[in-house]
Amino acid sequence: MDVLERIDQQVKNNPVVIYMKGTPQMPQCGFSMRAAQALGESGIPFAYVNVLQDPEIFENLPRYADWPTFPQIYIDGELVGGCDITLELQASGELKTMMETAAAKSADS
């Protein structure tokens, strides 16, 4: 399977997925750590991909949604953004709502 197809499957098959450096338990960059913490504080389960362990994804993910940096957070198949946008959504309360909606939609299908 082509790497962009793999990314597309991951994005579409998970209500919430973060492409990050490291893991939520062992982040390898401050931006990834803060974004994963924000997702975790919602209480909604989310998937993650450690881009440091998959060089193909690391090199090609910026082409997938034309977003050059990591982390990248996708909710309900759509790119939400990176760390700063995720923290802004968390501060406004929108992040949890978006994650709950995506999780409920996924459970219904």
Handedness of CA 33, 31, 106, 90 (dihedral sign): positive
Type of residue at 70 = F
Q: Which two tokens stand for residue 102?
A: 């995506």
Residue 29 marked ligand-binding: yes
Residues of each annotated binding site for [2Fe-2S] cluster: 29
Residues of each annotated binding site: 29
